[in-house]
Amino acid sequence: MTTTVPRNEPQRIHPHKFLMWAAIGGIVMMFAGLTSAYIVKKNQSSWLQFDLPIEFYYSTGVIVLSSITMYLSAIALKAAKMSQYKAMISITAFLGISFLLFQYLGFKDLQAKNIALVGPRSNSAASFLFVITFLHMMHVLGGVIALIIFWFKAIRKNSTITSLISVEVLGTYWHFVGILWIYLFLFYNWIG
């Protein structure tokens, strides 16, 4: 009599999750290069010292809160509580838009203080801040667009339950851009 021992097959990662992690790896490399260049350039004598605008502090709180609501939306979807899911995904999208608005207002505040971000009057410090933060804002904008698409899908009358994998992938991306902003915010405050 032969017995077969069940083999534990290694759990494979979903292809969408794998692609998201690969994209995140590329984004990390880009921001690592930009912040490294920032550190090198900071040693120049012409580097302008200035404080971050208060709006960047507000946007940090907003992105942390949006990560919590994104997490709650995934929990609601897993429990098939569609009204909670719709509410949380809506709040997350609103907070993402608020983050972008605070960032924009922060740049307006810097310009009001005569800190030119680009152009002939600009300084490397302000230009680096603008380029790095603007690139991050574009990544957040991509997440906001995805959130709005998920929200539209959720509120349709004949909506079926959204794919949990899709929400998990979006959640991974959203948490990543939040963590990336916290890294940049701390970087600007400690290194900048």
- Of the two residues 49 and 160, the one the predictor is more confident about is 49
Query: Cβ distance 53 to 111 under 8 Å?
Result: no
* pLDDT at residue 65, rounded to an integer: 98
* pLDDT at residue 161, rounded to an integer: 57
Residue 103's nearest CA partner among 162, 190, 181 is 181
CATH 1.20.120.80 fits 52-190, yes or no: yes
pTM value > 0.75: yes
- Of the two residues 54 and 82, the one the predictor is more confident about is 54
Where are the chain's structural domains? 52-190
Question: Residue 116: which residues within 8 A CB-CB, separation 6 or more?
Answer: 122, 123, 126
Task: Indicate the range of 7-11, 120-124, 127-131, 163-167 predicted with least confidence.
Answer: 7-11
For residue 1, pLDDT beyond 60: no
pLDDT tens digits for range 136-172: 999 999 999 999 999 888 888 655 556 889 999 999 9
pLDDT tens digits for range 70-119: 999 999 999 989 899 999 999 999 999 999 999 999 999 999 999 988 88
Rounded to whole angstroms, what are the CA distances from 105 to 13, 53, 80, 110, 112? 40, 9, 38, 9, 10
